[in-house]
Chain A
Amino acid sequence: MKYFILKEASRVLFPALLVLSLVVLYRGHNLPGGGFIGGLLAAIAFILVGFGNSMKRAKDLLRLNPVQIMALGLATAVLSAVPGLLFNAPFLTGEWLPGFSLPLLGKVHLGTPLVFDIGVYLVVLGFVLHSTFSLARLADIQMEEEKS
């Protein structure tokens, strides 16, 4: 069962939601937002494609296995804790690059907390998609059983 409107809308909404999720991720350090919400938004983008088109299409767009995305996210979060150690500060200490200005974004301030947030983003994205894909597979199995 495919809905035409959902399918066409997902085509537009997919990139828009992904960009929005990155914006939310970036502003999250001092403003509402952050890795968790960003990850949820990105997952919604993929789920929308999954419902509007097919779960297979969503998996193709994702390329990586959700479990691997989770693992990469965890690894990123752990790695963000390491630079502090290199500068002889305690574990997880935030280290910042010198700030600089960019058109559009304004003053840019990059540091390890953002890396940590990227890790959270990936973990949430991977977790939500892993559960969605598993549930969708169960629903498919059930539907086939009902047919036969």
Chain B
Amino acid sequence: MNEYSLLLPLLLPLVGAICLLLGHNSLAFQRVGGVACASLTFILSLYLVYVVDQADFVVIQVGAWEAPFGISLVADRFSAVMVAVSSFMGAAVAVYALGEIDDVRLRKFFFPLYLVLIFGVNGAFLTGDLFNLYVWFEVMLIASFVLISMGGGKGELEGGLKYVVLNLLSSIMFLAGAGIIYGQTGTLNMADIARTLSMTPDAGWVTSSSMLLLVSFGLKAGIFPFFFWLPASYHTPPSTVSAIFAGLLTKVGVYALFRAYTLMFVPIFPQVQPLILVLAVLTMVTGVFGAASHFDMRRILSFHIVSQIGYMILGLAFMTPLALAAAIFYLVHHIIVKTNLFLVSGMVVRLKGSCDLAKVGGLLKSAPWLALLFFIPAFSLGGIPPLSGFWAKFAMVKAGLQIESWIAVTAALLVGVLTLFSMTKIWAEAFWKEQPADVDAQPLRNPAGHFAYMVVPVAVLAVSTILIGLFGEPLFSFSERAAAQLLNPQEYISAVLQSQVEVLP
């Protein structure tokens, strides 16, 4: 039965996309089907978390081909929680899409592509095979290429082009890194690679392949110095699309980095650790400075993705049980909060026709409830207690203090303050100040759907960040269990390679 708990959250989006393609003439069917399928995926992913927490691992050898030869699908606690939180975003943003995505986009297969995107993201979290991870990346990217440039406007195509080129570059690096590993170890199964590498005496090719994968995953995750494509493209498509990208796509890169350095490249991690630490600190700092220098709501939020990614990578660089638990907690918190902020920016666009901070203002008076809905995720991102961001940052800083990494801790605290500064900038400009008299800010004409479709998911996400802040204990202890699993790769290896077939390198 465990097998189904892993298969269903993976297959359901694909089956949903097929059904939507078959019924592509009815827009009502597209809307209802898209939301229903995304919500059902979320419910099933919760079941996966439950099963994995009971059983430690769920492993499927697809097509009954034994582990090092076939493709394994593996769910440990870390991947299960990632699937759950990304499916949660999938469901929330699908509802939001009802309010923002117009009929033209729906006719261009918005919802089937959206479901394929979720399919790709969930697949990337659940695969146990390095090349298969590449395939899932491609599934996800091809759907995202279309979603980002669907409008066909000049800005969208420009942002889309940067996005496509940089991601293809990252795919090439990935293939090169995976190719070196395959050429030297003769296997692509991540558990088997980990086993082989642990027996390989220090070899140059291990470092070079790990660096290629670091660059590739880093490009996708948006870490320093590879993040420049992200703020250049995320503000162009509709908020629905940039919200789901902001929530999910970079986190798949982060997930892959964690998987690579807690499983495959454990033997060389001590050499790589200083590099990852430096990258993490620089990512945090450059991201937050970039945000401070911008004046468009969505550009500011895009730069904050970069700086927050730094915190997660910092957890990886510390590599202590507390730091990894904090990083996992941070991932969950960040996905929810960041998606929420992008969704709020879409509501500002809807009410004022723009989210350029110079052009909007007076929202506190005209829409006080929207101010509240912005306030919660924004100050959660800034790390104000009792919201979820406080506990995430607190745990990360505590982990840093434990291993006495003073510079990184200082940077983390400083970046927290600067994050708060740019959140107050949005607050002061968009909400507090009067509407500039010389700018005629009109609500969007011909909105696609009822405004309530946009309010409900934003409110649900805001409530969940409060709940994580107030009752975060179960989630944090789950993160600790997940971190313990990550720190003990031997369990993962033996769960995947049950039959222990001897493979010649």
- Whether the pair A94, B14 counts as a contact (CB closer than 8 A) is no
- Whether the pair A71, B22 counts as a contact (CB closer than 8 A) is yes
- Whether the pair A75, B63 counts as a contact (CB closer than 8 A) is no
B396 to chain A, nearest CB (A): 38
A51 to chain B, nearest CB (A): 27
- A67-101 contact mask (Cβ, 8 Å, vs B): 1 or 0: 11011101100100000110001111110000000
**CB neighbors of A among B231-264 (8 A):** none
Q: Which residues of A contact B63 (CB under 8 A)?
A: 84, 90-94
B473 touches A (CB below 8 Å)? no
A89-B21 Cα distance, complex, nearest whole Å: 29
- Whether the pair A68, B14 counts as a contact (CB closer than 8 A) is no
- Whether the pair B60, A67 counts as a contact (CB closer than 8 A) is no
A16-B168 Cα distance, complex, nearest whole Å: 39
- Whether the pair B64, A93 counts as a contact (CB closer than 8 A) is yes
Contact of A90 among B3, B15, B24 (CB under 8 A): B3
Q: Which residues of B contact A94 (CB under 8 A)?
A: 63
Known contacts A67-B24, A70-B21: A92-B15 contact under CB 8 Å: no
Q: Which residues of B contact A93 (CB under 8 A)?
A: 63-64
- Whether the pair A72, B22 counts as a contact (CB closer than 8 A) is yes
Interface residues on B, range: 10 to 19
**CB neighbors of A among B34-62 (8 A):** 60-62
B11 touches A (CB below 8 Å)? yes
- Whether the pair B7, A67 counts as a contact (CB closer than 8 A) is no
Q: In the complex, which residue of chain A has the Cβ closest to the Cβ of B15?
A: A78
Q: In the complex, which residue of chain B has the Cβ closest to the Cβ of A82?
A: B11
B467 touches A (CB below 8 Å)? no
- Whether the pair A71, B18 counts as a contact (CB closer than 8 A) is yes
Known contacts A74-B14, A78-B14: A91-B7 contact under CB 8 Å: yes
Say whether chain A's binding surface is mostly helix, strand, loop, or mixed.
Answer: helix
Q: In the complex, which residue of chain A has the Cβ closest to the Cβ of B60?
A: A90
B482 to chain A, nearest CB (A): 25
- Whether the pair B62, A75 counts as a contact (CB closer than 8 A) is no
A89-B64 Cα distance, complex, nearest whole Å: 7
In the complex, which of the residues A75, A85, A89, A92 has the most CB atoms of chain B within 10 Å of its own CB atom?
Answer: A92
B142 to chain A, nearest CB (A): 12
**CB neighbors of B among A9-65 (8 A):** none
- Whether the pair B61, A90 counts as a contact (CB closer than 8 A) is yes
A85-B1 Cα distance, complex, nearest whole Å: 11
A85-B64 Cα distance, complex, nearest whole Å: 11
A75-B20 Cα distance, complex, nearest whole Å: 11
Q: Which residues of A contact B21 (CB under 8 A)?
A: 67-68, 70-71, 74
A78-B18 Cα distance, complex, nearest whole Å: 10
Q: In the complex, which residue of chain A has the Cβ closest to the Cβ of B22?
A: A71
B308 to chain A, nearest CB (A): 36
A67-B60 Cα distance, complex, nearest whole Å: 32
Q: Which residues of B contact A70 (CB under 8 A)?
A: 21
**CB neighbors of A among B3-23 (8 A):** 3, 7, 11, 14-15, 17-19, 21-22
Q: Which residues of B contact A89 (CB under 8 A)?
A: 64
A66-B63 Cα distance, complex, nearest whole Å: 30
A146-B14 Cα distance, complex, nearest whole Å: 43
Q: In the complex, which residue of chain A has the Cβ closest to the Cβ of B72?
A: A90
A74-B116 Cα distance, complex, nearest whole Å: 12
In the complex, which of the residues A68, A71, A91 has the most CB atoms of chain B within 10 Å of its own CB atom?
Answer: A91
Q: Which residues of B contact A68 (CB under 8 A)?
A: 21-22, 24
- Whether the pair B64, A84 counts as a contact (CB closer than 8 A) is yes
A66 to chain B, nearest CB (A): 11
Q: Which residues of A contact B19 (CB under 8 A)?
A: 71
A93-B3 Cα distance, complex, nearest whole Å: 13
- Whether the pair A90, B64 counts as a contact (CB closer than 8 A) is yes
- Whether the pair B18, A90 counts as a contact (CB closer than 8 A) is no
A75-B60 Cα distance, complex, nearest whole Å: 22
A67-B112 Cα distance, complex, nearest whole Å: 12
Q: In the complex, which residue of chain B has the Cβ closest to the Cβ of A89?
A: B64
A98 to chain B, nearest CB (A): 19
A67-B24 Cα distance, complex, nearest whole Å: 8
Q: Which residues of B contact A78 (CB under 8 A)?
A: 11, 14-15, 18
- Whether the pair A91, B3 counts as a contact (CB closer than 8 A) is yes
A94-B65 Cα distance, complex, nearest whole Å: 10
A110 to chain B, nearest CB (A): 17
A53-B60 Cα distance, complex, nearest whole Å: 50
Contact of B62 among A67, A72, A92 (CB under 8 A): A92
A109-B319 Cα distance, complex, nearest whole Å: 53
- A101-135 contact mask (Cβ, 8 Å, vs B): 1 or 0: 00000000000000000000000000000000000
A85-B14 Cα distance, complex, nearest whole Å: 17
A sample of 19 inter-chain contacts (CB < 8 A) reads A67-B21, A67-B24, A68-B21, A68-B24, A71-B19, A71-B21, A72-B22, A74-B17, A78-B14, A84-B63, A90-B60, A90-B61, A90-B62, A90-B63, A91-B7, A91-B63, A92-B63, A93-B63, A93-B64
Interface of B toward A, CB cutoff 8 Å: 3, 7, 11, 14-15, 17-19, 21-22, 24, 60-64
**Would you list the 9 A-B pairs with minimal beta carbon distance, nearest first?**
A71-B21, A92-B63, A93-B64, A71-B22, A74-B18, A75-B18, A90-B64, A92-B62, A89-B64
Apart from the given pairs A85-B3, A91-B3, 17 other A-B contacts in the complex at a CB distance below 8 Å: A67-B24, A68-B21, A68-B22, A70-B21, A71-B18, A71-B19, A71-B21, A71-B22, A71-B24, A75-B22, A78-B15, A84-B64, A90-B3, A90-B61, A91-B62, A91-B63, A94-B63
